[in-house]
Amino acid sequence: MSMTKHISIESKHELIDYLAAGCKPKSMWKVGTEHEKFGFHRHSLKPLHYTEPGGIRDILQQLADKHGWQPVYEQDNIIALSRHGCSITLEPGGQLELSGAPLSDVHQTCAETNQHLKELKSIAEPLGTAFLGMGFQPTASRDDIQFMPKDRYKIMSAYMPKVGSLGLDMMKRTCTIQANLDFSSEADMVKKFRVSLALQPVATALFANSPFTDGRVNGYLSYRSHIWTDTDPHRCGILPFVFEPGMGFERYVDYMLDVPMYFVQRKGKYLNAAGLSFRDFLSGHLKILPGEKPTIKDWEDHLTTAFPEVRLKKFLEMRGADGGPWRRICALPALWVGLLYDDTQLNQAADWISDWTQEDHAYLRSQVPKYGLCTAFKGEKVRDLALRMLAMSRAGLEKRAIKTSCGKDESVHLTALQEIADTGVTPAERKLGKYHGVWQQELSEIYRLCAY
């Protein structure tokens, strides 16, 4: 790790400069894709625990031993893997996450995902385990799922019930797909932030895939998305300030300075800073470290503890999608690359959403998790927005003209989403139809149909 990450920060301007350092010329833009999935035992369908034979620890160790991943430990527990710019990490309830490397195009990130799932399956099958791609664990209760042995999760799990009723469910029972994209300047960042934040509910509708809780219908198409509305109001939501005059790196820094802290890492240990102020830390008045100021590493850690629908680091993270199958893991980066990496489509999208009010954004955020593509909006349905968004994204991808050896450009990865938008039926609604039909209100079949 660079020694500069351990030098104390003396001013807010250094925090602003950190974000601004993410600016890259278009020729250097990359795409990163992350996805999470639930592990389970094939015979019992119960969630995987960490220490049990064939559980999460054994899977991580075998991935390291057989596929060249480098293990990362916390105390004596293997809690992550790294290889060639990728990482495999553990979410609080044992959800396995692949954080892909920054790659040049969607074809590459899709191949990376395919390779990961192939390796994971080669390990899981002999152990009698598999992984499930959905936005919310459909049958396991909160108590059925054990926390992973990471100290940061101990701090978070103790704090969550103080600020919302669904934070522990977020930690243990949700999975997402995420795409990470670059920007060239502060103005470019702002435009992309506004467009992606405004249209994030459309992505949520297209990817809606979490209609079950505790083995029963929960009344939502994306219950995962709903979970975030009652997790922690200080670190979640649609960020109204992004659409206001004066938005820029400094404004986001001001927001993050007001997001309550979770922890500080020192000498390999997590110190409980839950609810404390990073502003106090910056001025040397953090009560658990009096007189000490934060480092860039502390700032990087703190940036990961906010959970808005779009998150700014040295790149922008699209966070609106439920977990799902391989095709939709590839589709999410394709959707956003086509829309945000082509100037024509980005400018058209910015014009499209320019007159949406804060009430419009709040309305979409609150209604889409329940009604999906059927959500009414400005005389249309969200399905109409999705069809328009897909057409724009397709045009952007076709213009990039990055093709496989078979001659297919990146727009091929939109096929799964186009099918959803054309029919107007979300993945959640397809499952609900089967639940009330051939599944006879029983969910064991979902583990066979949706497993990796």
3-state per-residue secondary structure call for 65-78: HHHCCEEEEECCEE
pLDDT at position 5: 75
Residue-wise pLDDT tens for the chain (452 aa)? 454 677 899 999 999 999 999 999 999 999 999 999 999 999 999 999 999 999 999 999 999 999 999 999 999 999 999 999 999 999 999 999 999 999 999 999 999 999 999 999 999 999 999 999 999 999 999 999 999 999 999 999 999 999 999 999 999 999 999 999 999 999 999 999 999 999 999 999 999 999 999 999 999 999 999 999 999 999 998 999 999 999 999 999 999 999 999 999 999 899 999 999 999 999 999 999 999 999 999 999 999 999 999 999 999 999 999 999 999 999 999 999 999 999 999 999 999 999 999 999 999 999 999 999 999 999 999 999 999 999 999 999 999 999 998 999 999 999 999 999 999 999 999 999 999 999 999 999 999 988 99
383: Cα separation from own chain's centroid: 22
The C-alpha atoms of residue 276 and residue 260 are separated, in whole angstroms, by 6
Rounded to two decimals, the pTM is 0.97
Please state the φ and ψ torsions of residue 33, each to the nearest 5 degrees.
Answer: -130, 135
Q: How far is CA 220 from CA 3, 101, 177, in A?
A: 47, 33, 18
pLDDT at position 304: 97
Q: How far is CA 325 from CA 3, 170, 225, 421, 436, in A?
A: 40, 20, 18, 17, 22
pLDDT at position 6: 78
pLDDT at position 23: 98
- Strand-pairing partners, residue 86, are 83
Let me know: does 79 contact 149? Beta carbons within 8 Å. yes
The C-alpha atoms of residue 181 and residue 332 are separated, in whole angstroms, by 11
The C-alpha atoms of residue 221 and residue 322 are separated, in whole angstroms, by 10
Q: Which residues contact 7 (CB under 8 A, 6 or more apart)?
A: 295, 296
How would you class 386 by CB atoms within 10 Å of its CB: exposed for 0-12, middle for 13-18, buried for 19 or more?
Answer: buried
Kindly state the tokens that stand for 397.
């991808």
The C-alpha atoms of residue 186 and residue 188 are separated, in whole angstroms, by 5
Nearest Cα residue to 49 out of 144, 168, 116, 150: 144
Amino acid (one-letter) located at 333: P
How would you class 438 by CB atoms within 10 Å of its CB: exposed for 0-12, middle for 13-18, buried for 19 or more?
Answer: exposed
Please calculate the CA angle 153-156-158 and round it to the nearest 5 degrees.
110
pLDDT at position 4: 64
Kindly state the tokens that stand for 228.
């975030």
Q: What does DSSP assign to residue 46? A: P
Sign for the CA dihedral angle at 184, 187, 191, 196 comes to: positive
pLDDT at position 147: 98
The C-alpha atoms of residue 9 and residue 308 are separated, in whole angstroms, by 25
